[in-house]
Structure 1
Amino acid sequence: MWFKKKKTAKEKTYPIKDISLEEVRHAIHAFSKELPADIPLKIVAKDDLSLDYSLLAPFLKGIPEKNYYMSKETYDLFEEEEKHIPLALDQIQHAVDQYIAQTNELPVIDHDPYRKVNFFKLEKLKLIEERPEMDFYITDQEQLVTTVKPE
Protein backbone atom coordinates (compact mmCIF):
# COMPACT_ATOMS: atom_id res chain seq x y z
CA MET A 1 0.00 0.00 0.00
CA TRP A 2 1.23 3.40 -0.89
CA PHE A 3 0.69 6.29 1.45
CA LYS A 4 1.21 9.87 0.59
CA LYS A 5 3.01 11.81 3.19
CA LYS A 6 0.84 14.66 4.38
CA LYS A 7 2.24 18.02 3.56
CA THR A 8 2.64 20.12 6.63
CA ALA A 9 1.56 23.62 5.88
CA LYS A 10 4.01 26.09 7.19
CA GLU A 11 2.04 28.33 9.46
CA LYS A 12 2.33 31.94 8.40
CA THR A 13 3.44 34.38 11.03
CA TYR A 14 2.04 37.88 11.13
CA PRO A 15 3.64 41.03 12.49
CA ILE A 16 2.32 42.66 15.62
CA LYS A 17 1.19 46.15 14.72
CA ASP A 18 -1.08 49.04 15.63
CA ILE A 19 -4.54 48.09 14.35
CA SER A 20 -7.59 50.24 15.06
CA LEU A 21 -10.96 49.07 16.36
CA GLU A 22 -12.46 49.99 12.99
CA GLU A 23 -9.92 47.83 11.14
CA VAL A 24 -10.74 44.92 13.46
CA ARG A 25 -14.44 45.49 12.80
CA HIS A 26 -13.82 45.29 9.03
CA ALA A 27 -11.73 42.11 9.47
CA ILE A 28 -14.51 40.47 11.48
CA HIS A 29 -16.98 41.41 8.76
CA ALA A 30 -14.73 39.90 6.07
CA PHE A 31 -14.19 36.79 8.23
CA SER A 32 -17.95 36.39 8.72
CA LYS A 33 -18.52 36.40 4.95
CA GLU A 34 -16.30 33.32 4.62
CA LEU A 35 -17.89 31.40 7.50
CA PRO A 36 -20.17 28.50 6.61
CA ALA A 37 -23.81 29.28 7.48
CA ASP A 38 -23.89 26.71 10.29
CA ILE A 39 -20.92 28.21 12.17
CA PRO A 40 -21.72 31.21 14.38
CA LEU A 41 -19.56 34.32 14.34
CA LYS A 42 -19.05 34.01 18.09
CA ILE A 43 -16.20 31.55 17.42
CA VAL A 44 -13.99 34.59 16.87
CA ALA A 45 -14.27 35.39 20.61
CA LYS A 46 -12.46 33.28 23.19
CA ASP A 47 -13.97 32.30 26.54
CA ASP A 48 -12.71 35.54 28.13
CA LEU A 49 -14.32 37.39 25.16
CA SER A 50 -10.95 38.52 23.79
CA LEU A 51 -10.63 38.06 20.04
CA ASP A 52 -8.91 35.03 18.56
CA TYR A 53 -6.36 36.71 16.33
CA SER A 54 -5.31 33.41 14.75
CA LEU A 55 -8.62 33.57 12.86
CA LEU A 56 -8.44 37.28 12.06
CA ALA A 57 -4.73 37.73 11.25
CA PRO A 58 -5.10 36.82 7.56
CA PHE A 59 -7.70 39.57 7.20
CA LEU A 60 -5.76 42.10 9.28
CA LYS A 61 -2.38 41.22 7.74
CA GLY A 62 -1.09 41.32 11.30
CA ILE A 63 -1.83 40.84 14.98
CA PRO A 64 -3.10 43.88 16.91
CA GLU A 65 -0.82 45.05 19.68
CA LYS A 66 -3.95 45.89 21.70
CA ASN A 67 -6.52 43.40 22.91
CA TYR A 68 -10.07 43.81 21.69
CA TYR A 69 -13.13 42.10 23.15
CA MET A 70 -16.43 41.05 21.61
CA SER A 71 -19.85 40.24 23.02
CA LYS A 72 -20.82 36.75 21.90
CA GLU A 73 -24.50 37.73 22.05
CA THR A 74 -24.52 41.06 20.20
CA TYR A 75 -21.10 41.02 18.45
CA ASP A 76 -20.29 44.52 19.74
CA LEU A 77 -16.56 45.26 19.95
CA PHE A 78 -14.72 46.91 22.83
CA GLU A 79 -11.21 48.03 23.66
CA GLU A 80 -9.13 46.74 26.59
CA GLU A 81 -10.29 49.43 29.03
CA GLU A 82 -13.92 48.47 28.35
CA LYS A 83 -13.50 44.70 28.55
CA HIS A 84 -16.01 44.49 31.41
CA ILE A 85 -18.80 45.71 29.09
CA PRO A 86 -19.11 42.64 26.81
CA LEU A 87 -19.33 40.38 29.87
CA ALA A 88 -22.19 42.45 31.31
CA LEU A 89 -23.77 42.80 27.87
CA ASP A 90 -23.85 39.03 27.36
CA GLN A 91 -25.29 38.47 30.84
CA ILE A 92 -28.06 41.03 30.34
CA GLN A 93 -28.83 39.90 26.76
CA HIS A 94 -29.24 36.33 27.99
CA ALA A 95 -31.49 37.48 30.85
CA VAL A 96 -33.58 39.66 28.51
CA ASP A 97 -34.02 36.74 26.09
CA GLN A 98 -35.17 34.49 28.95
CA TYR A 99 -37.52 37.18 30.27
CA ILE A 100 -39.14 37.60 26.85
CA ALA A 101 -39.49 33.82 26.49
CA GLN A 102 -41.14 33.52 29.91
CA THR A 103 -43.41 36.58 29.87
CA ASN A 104 -43.82 37.47 26.18
CA GLU A 105 -42.96 41.10 26.97
CA LEU A 106 -39.89 43.30 27.22
CA PRO A 107 -38.31 43.89 30.64
CA VAL A 108 -38.74 47.66 30.50
CA ILE A 109 -40.87 50.17 32.39
CA ASP A 110 -44.18 50.69 30.60
CA HIS A 111 -44.12 53.53 28.07
CA ASP A 112 -40.38 54.14 28.45
CA PRO A 113 -39.40 55.73 25.11
CA TYR A 114 -35.75 54.65 25.59
CA ARG A 115 -36.62 51.02 26.35
CA LYS A 116 -34.15 50.95 29.24
CA VAL A 117 -33.71 47.45 30.71
CA ASN A 118 -35.48 47.23 34.06
CA PHE A 119 -33.13 45.20 36.27
CA PHE A 120 -35.85 44.78 38.91
CA LYS A 121 -37.98 42.79 36.46
CA LEU A 122 -35.00 40.54 35.68
CA GLU A 123 -34.20 40.09 39.38
CA LYS A 124 -37.83 39.28 40.17
CA LEU A 125 -37.62 36.24 37.87
CA LYS A 126 -34.13 35.42 39.20
CA LEU A 127 -32.57 35.98 35.77
CA ILE A 128 -29.73 38.10 37.19
CA GLU A 129 -28.05 37.93 40.57
CA GLU A 130 -26.61 41.42 40.64
CA ARG A 131 -27.16 44.61 38.70
CA PRO A 132 -24.48 45.87 36.35
CA GLU A 133 -23.10 49.33 37.03
CA MET A 134 -24.30 50.69 33.70
CA ASP A 135 -27.58 51.10 31.90
CA PHE A 136 -28.71 48.92 29.01
CA TYR A 137 -31.34 49.57 26.39
CA ILE A 138 -33.28 47.26 24.10
CA THR A 139 -33.06 48.08 20.42
CA ASP A 140 -35.86 47.75 17.89
CA GLN A 141 -33.59 45.35 16.00
CA GLU A 142 -34.30 41.80 17.21
CA GLN A 143 -34.51 42.94 20.86
CA LEU A 144 -30.73 43.27 21.09
CA VAL A 145 -29.30 44.90 24.18
CA THR A 146 -26.98 47.89 23.85
CA THR A 147 -25.21 50.36 26.12
CA VAL A 148 -26.04 53.22 23.74
CA LYS A 149 -29.00 55.31 24.88
CA PRO A 150 -31.38 55.96 21.96
CA GLU A 151 -31.85 59.57 20.90
Structure 2
Amino acid sequence: MIFKRSKKNTNSDQVRVTLPQVKQAVKQFEADMPTPINRTVLIMADKSIDLARLKRYLGGVPQQKFYMSRETFEIFAEEDKLVPYYLDLVQSAVDNYINDTGKLPLIEDAWLPEVHYRLLSTESYLKETPPFPLYITDEEMMLTHRPEHFE
Protein backbone atom coordinates (compact mmCIF):
# COMPACT_ATOMS: atom_id res chain seq x y z
CA MET A 1 0.00 0.00 0.00
CA ILE A 2 1.35 3.43 -0.95
CA PHE A 3 0.69 6.41 1.29
CA LYS A 4 0.64 9.87 -0.18
CA ARG A 5 1.88 12.70 1.92
CA SER A 6 -0.73 15.39 2.37
CA LYS A 7 0.10 18.65 0.69
CA LYS A 8 -1.87 20.54 3.32
CA ASN A 9 0.10 22.63 5.75
CA THR A 10 -0.03 21.34 9.27
CA ASN A 11 0.26 23.58 12.29
CA SER A 12 3.78 22.25 12.82
CA ASP A 13 4.76 23.69 9.42
CA GLN A 14 3.56 27.16 10.37
CA VAL A 15 6.03 29.81 11.43
CA ARG A 16 5.86 33.47 12.42
CA VAL A 17 7.99 35.73 10.27
CA THR A 18 8.68 39.42 9.94
CA LEU A 19 8.25 41.63 6.91
CA PRO A 20 12.05 41.90 6.41
CA GLN A 21 12.31 38.09 6.48
CA VAL A 22 9.65 37.77 3.76
CA LYS A 23 11.36 40.45 1.66
CA GLN A 24 14.65 38.57 1.93
CA ALA A 25 12.98 35.24 1.09
CA VAL A 26 11.38 36.75 -2.01
CA LYS A 27 14.74 38.14 -3.16
CA GLN A 28 16.41 34.78 -2.59
CA PHE A 29 13.60 32.97 -4.41
CA GLU A 30 14.09 35.25 -7.42
CA ALA A 31 17.87 34.82 -7.32
CA ASP A 32 17.49 31.02 -7.33
CA MET A 33 15.08 30.95 -10.27
CA PRO A 34 16.15 30.66 -13.93
CA THR A 35 16.52 34.02 -15.72
CA PRO A 36 13.06 34.50 -17.26
CA ILE A 37 11.29 33.85 -13.93
CA ASN A 38 10.92 36.73 -11.49
CA ARG A 39 9.21 37.35 -8.17
CA THR A 40 5.87 38.22 -9.74
CA VAL A 41 5.14 34.48 -10.11
CA LEU A 42 4.58 34.52 -6.34
CA ILE A 43 1.68 37.00 -6.58
CA MET A 44 -1.78 35.49 -6.33
CA ALA A 45 -5.00 37.07 -7.67
CA ASP A 46 -5.68 38.99 -4.44
CA LYS A 47 -2.09 40.38 -4.47
CA SER A 48 -1.10 38.05 -1.62
CA ILE A 49 2.19 36.19 -1.85
CA ASP A 50 2.13 32.42 -2.29
CA LEU A 51 4.09 31.81 0.90
CA ALA A 52 4.06 28.03 0.48
CA ARG A 53 6.57 28.53 -2.35
CA LEU A 54 8.88 30.34 0.10
CA LYS A 55 8.76 27.59 2.73
CA ARG A 56 12.37 26.53 2.22
CA TYR A 57 13.59 30.10 2.75
CA LEU A 58 11.41 30.79 5.78
CA GLY A 59 11.61 27.45 7.57
CA GLY A 60 7.88 26.84 7.20
CA VAL A 61 4.73 28.51 5.95
CA PRO A 62 3.96 31.79 7.72
CA GLN A 63 0.74 32.11 9.68
CA GLN A 64 0.23 35.67 8.52
CA LYS A 65 -0.35 36.95 4.98
CA PHE A 66 1.87 39.30 3.00
CA TYR A 67 1.09 41.18 -0.20
CA MET A 68 3.14 42.42 -3.16
CA SER A 69 2.67 45.05 -5.82
CA ARG A 70 3.13 43.57 -9.29
CA GLU A 71 4.24 46.98 -10.61
CA THR A 72 6.68 48.11 -7.91
CA PHE A 73 7.60 44.77 -6.25
CA GLU A 74 7.03 46.34 -2.82
CA ILE A 75 5.94 43.89 -0.13
CA PHE A 76 3.41 44.68 2.61
CA ALA A 77 2.04 43.12 5.77
CA GLU A 78 -1.65 42.26 6.21
CA GLU A 79 -2.57 45.66 7.69
CA ASP A 80 -1.36 47.39 4.49
CA LYS A 81 -2.90 44.96 2.01
CA LEU A 82 -4.72 47.72 0.09
CA VAL A 83 -1.50 49.55 -0.75
CA PRO A 84 -0.30 47.10 -3.46
CA TYR A 85 -3.77 47.04 -5.01
CA TYR A 86 -3.78 50.83 -5.40
CA LEU A 87 -0.11 51.01 -6.38
CA ASP A 88 -0.77 48.66 -9.31
CA LEU A 89 -4.00 50.40 -10.31
CA VAL A 90 -2.51 53.91 -10.27
CA GLN A 91 0.89 52.90 -11.70
CA SER A 92 -0.87 51.53 -14.77
CA ALA A 93 -2.94 54.71 -15.11
CA VAL A 94 0.15 56.92 -14.73
CA ASP A 95 2.11 54.87 -17.30
CA ASN A 96 -0.74 55.08 -19.82
CA TYR A 97 -1.18 58.81 -19.23
CA ILE A 98 2.54 59.46 -19.74
CA ASN A 99 2.58 57.30 -22.90
CA ASP A 100 -0.41 59.16 -24.35
CA THR A 101 0.43 62.73 -23.34
CA GLY A 102 4.16 62.81 -22.60
CA LYS A 103 3.36 64.58 -19.33
CA LEU A 104 3.36 63.62 -15.67
CA PRO A 105 -0.06 63.62 -13.98
CA LEU A 106 1.00 65.68 -10.96
CA ILE A 107 -0.85 68.10 -8.72
CA GLU A 108 0.44 71.57 -9.59
CA ASP A 109 2.34 73.50 -6.93
CA ALA A 110 2.39 70.49 -4.59
CA TRP A 111 5.37 70.22 -2.28
CA LEU A 112 5.89 66.59 -3.30
CA PRO A 113 5.30 64.98 -6.74
CA GLU A 114 1.81 63.78 -5.84
CA VAL A 115 -0.32 61.96 -8.42
CA HIS A 116 -3.31 64.00 -9.59
CA TYR A 117 -6.15 61.48 -9.19
CA ARG A 118 -8.85 63.84 -10.44
CA LEU A 119 -6.95 64.46 -13.69
CA LEU A 120 -6.47 60.72 -14.26
CA SER A 121 -10.15 60.06 -13.47
CA THR A 122 -11.42 62.88 -15.68
CA GLU A 123 -9.30 61.63 -18.56
CA SER A 124 -10.61 58.05 -17.99
CA TYR A 125 -7.25 56.57 -16.96
CA LEU A 126 -8.32 55.82 -13.39
CA LYS A 127 -11.61 54.22 -12.37
CA GLU A 128 -11.07 54.13 -8.61
CA THR A 129 -9.43 56.71 -6.35
CA PRO A 130 -7.09 55.51 -3.59
CA PRO A 131 -7.87 56.66 -0.03
CA PHE A 132 -4.28 57.91 0.38
CA PRO A 133 -1.85 59.94 -1.75
CA LEU A 134 0.68 58.34 -4.07
CA TYR A 135 3.83 59.99 -5.35
CA ILE A 136 5.90 59.63 -8.52
CA THR A 137 9.59 58.96 -7.89
CA ASP A 138 12.55 59.72 -10.13
CA GLU A 139 13.30 55.98 -10.27
CA GLU A 140 11.74 55.00 -13.61
CA MET A 141 8.61 57.00 -12.74
CA MET A 142 7.61 54.36 -10.18
CA LEU A 143 5.04 55.20 -7.51
CA THR A 144 5.46 55.21 -3.77
CA HIS A 145 3.01 55.70 -0.93
CA ARG A 146 5.73 56.97 1.41
CA PRO A 147 6.38 60.71 1.47
CA GLU A 148 9.58 60.01 3.47
CA HIS A 149 10.99 58.61 0.21
CA PHE A 150 11.73 62.22 -0.76
CA GLU A 151 13.51 63.30 2.44
For 1:25, the equivalent position in structure 2 comes to 23
Q: Which runs of 5+ in 2 are unaligned?
A: none
- SS state at 1:56 partner: helix
For 1:51, the equivalent position in structure 2 comes to 49
Name which one, 1 or 2, has greater alpha-carbon Rg: 1
Seq. identity, %: 32
Equivalent of residue 86 in structure 2, options 79, 85, 88: 88
Amino acid corresponding to residue 75 of structure 2 in structure 1: L
Cα distance, 1:114–1:55 mapped onto 2, change above 3 Å:
same
CA distance in 1, matches of 2:45, 2:53: 15
1:64 Cα deviation (Å)? 0.9
How does the TM-score come out when normalised to structure 2? 0.86
1:35 Cα deviation (Å)? 2.2
Amino acid corresponding to residue 123 of structure 2 in structure 1: L
Q: Is the 8 Å Cα contact of residues 133 and 145 (structure 2) preserved in structure 1?
A: yes
Point out the structure with the larger helix share.
2
Q: Which runs of 5+ in 1 are unaligned?
A: 1-7
Root-mean-square deviation (CA), in Å? 2.2
CA distance in 2, matches of 1:30, 1:72: 17
> How many pairs are equivalent?
144
For 1:109, the equivalent position in structure 2 comes to 107
1:77 Cα deviation (Å)? 1.0
1:9 Cα deviation (Å)? 10
For 1:135, the equivalent position in structure 2 comes to 133
- SS state at 1:59 partner: helix
Q: Is the 8 Å Cα contact of residues 44 and 50 (structure 2) preserved in structure 1?
A: yes
- SS state at 1:123 partner: helix
